[in-house]
Structures are given as C-alpha cells and as structure tokens.
Amino acid sequence: MNEPIPVTRVTDHGTAKLMPDVDRERAWLLTVDGAPQSYVDLDEPTHLEFEYARRLGHALDTVAEPGRPLDVLHLGGGALTLPRYVAATRPGSRQDVVEADRGLLDLVTEHLPLPGDARIALHGADAREWLEAAPAGSADILIADVFGGSRVPAHLTTVAYARAAARVLRGDGVYLANLADAAPFAFLRSQLATLATVFAELALVAEPAVLRGRRFGNAVLLAAHHPLDIAPLARRTAADAFPARVEHGGALRDFIGAAVPVRDEDAVPSPEPPDGAFGIG
C-alpha cells in the first residue's frame, strides 16, 4: 500500500500544502503560506481537529434541532471541513461554498474529494460580491471563515458587509464567524459593534486565556435576529477537550464598551498573528 505523500501547489493566493496525518489513515492538514488552514479526516468527517472548528461545530449542532437539514452558506472554503461536517450531521442539507482562491478549491477537490451524495456547490468568487448578489432570505446559516493568509480581509469587516450577510439570512437564521485577535481586542470589539448595528442578539465563544488577554487566539461570533439558546452551547464548549466560555448579554456589552462600527472607508484587515501563534507543533 502506498503511503500518502505531501502535495504542494502554488494557487491563486499563495502556496498551499496538503500534509497527511501520520496518526490517522486518511486525514490531512492544509496550510497556506505555512499557516494552518484546515484539517480533514475523510473517513470521519465529524472529527474536528482545530479548536475554532470544534466551536463552530458546537454552534452548528445547537442552533437548530439535531439532524434537521439546513441551507448553509460558507464564506471561505479551506479544505471544506465544515461543509463535510454539516453533510454528515445534517444529511440532506444544501450548501454553497464561496472561496476566492479557485486554485485552492481545485487542489482540495482533486486530492480530498467530497462525498458523492453531498449537496455541496463550490463557487470561486469574492465573498462580499457573492453575498451582495445572492438571493435574500436564502440561507439558514451563514459561516464566515475567510482569511487572506492569516488576516480577515478589510472589506469583510464593515457595516455594509454585515447588512449583506443579514439580507441573505432568513429571519430565524444565524450568522457564525471565526475571527482572531488579542488584548486589547480593538478588532474583535469593533466587529461585535459592527454586527450589533444589524443583529439584535450576539454571543462570543473563546478560550478563557484569550479573553483574559494572555494570548492571541480565535473567537467564534454568533449573531441573530432572535434570542440565541446559549445554555446548550455553553455546556458543550465548557466540556470540550479545549474548554471555552460563552459571553453574551450584559457581559458582552461591557466587553464591546465604546467600540464603534466599522465603515467601508475606515476598514482594515484583522491583526497579523504574532510569530508562532498558529504554527504547526
């Protein structure tokens, strides 16, 4: 039997590398320009290796009845970890994946093919342009996990972007985003303030050490027009192998403080991670 070997390819937006996991037979790590982007186990698509992916998975599991098919729009494709997860946990879901790097999509689908019965449509396009052209009220869940290298592009951080996202969601829909920041959290606070201009309910999931300002790390944001059922999400994230805390309500308003929403003309990308923040061990 041939051992899997790493695959490296220059794509539209960087150098992508697929590396096999020596501990799991058909599992792969995707890096782009050396930064870890995705982890996929083709035999076990419900295995979520990265902490932020697990938290998004917990959110996906708790925002609707277990197993109910959903219409999900993913902004950012990576190795298609979360689309595979939704297909496995919510069979019959209809999913669209928007990824600006068409070369990356080609690499992933060539070496890590999607299940034949998965209803996952892939689109090589800019996330905001796609959102602005998408039908209103067409998604139950919108997941934003878009990084140009290690930074969220500036045009995906603004009030206009948030309005476009809200327009595409149904009234009972939920917006999920993966962001990264460190104390004093200028970027994260501004993103919460931005989403608060459009959505009535917000929640934030992050590791306590990140929230206490001890290190740079990921934070998962939830936003909706309706009250979010925080209790099951809080239980799951607290009991995870990588425990996290859920902030909402008054505590989250205190966290946002005097942060102001981001206008298009003032937008900047998310902060550059410090060396080693997301390195491969």
Segments of the chain with pLDDT less than 50: 1, 279-281
Look at residue 281 in the predicted model and tell me its pLDDT: 34
| pTM, full prediction | 0.95
Look at residue 2 in the predicted model and tell me its pLDDT: 60
Look at residue 279 in the predicted model and tell me its pLDDT: 47
CB within 8 A of 32, min separation 6: which ones? Answer: 11, 13, 14, 15, 16, 17, 104, 149
Look at residue 274 in the predicted model and tell me its pLDDT: 80
Look at residue 238 in the predicted model and tell me its pLDDT: 96
Look at residue 150 in the predicted model and tell me its pLDDT: 78
Cα torsion 111, 116, 120, 124 to 10°: value is 40
Whether 246 contacts 55, CB under 8 Å: no
Look at residue 254 in the predicted model and tell me its pLDDT: 96
Taking phi over 0 as left and psi of -120 to 50 as alpha, with beta for the rest, 92 belongs to left
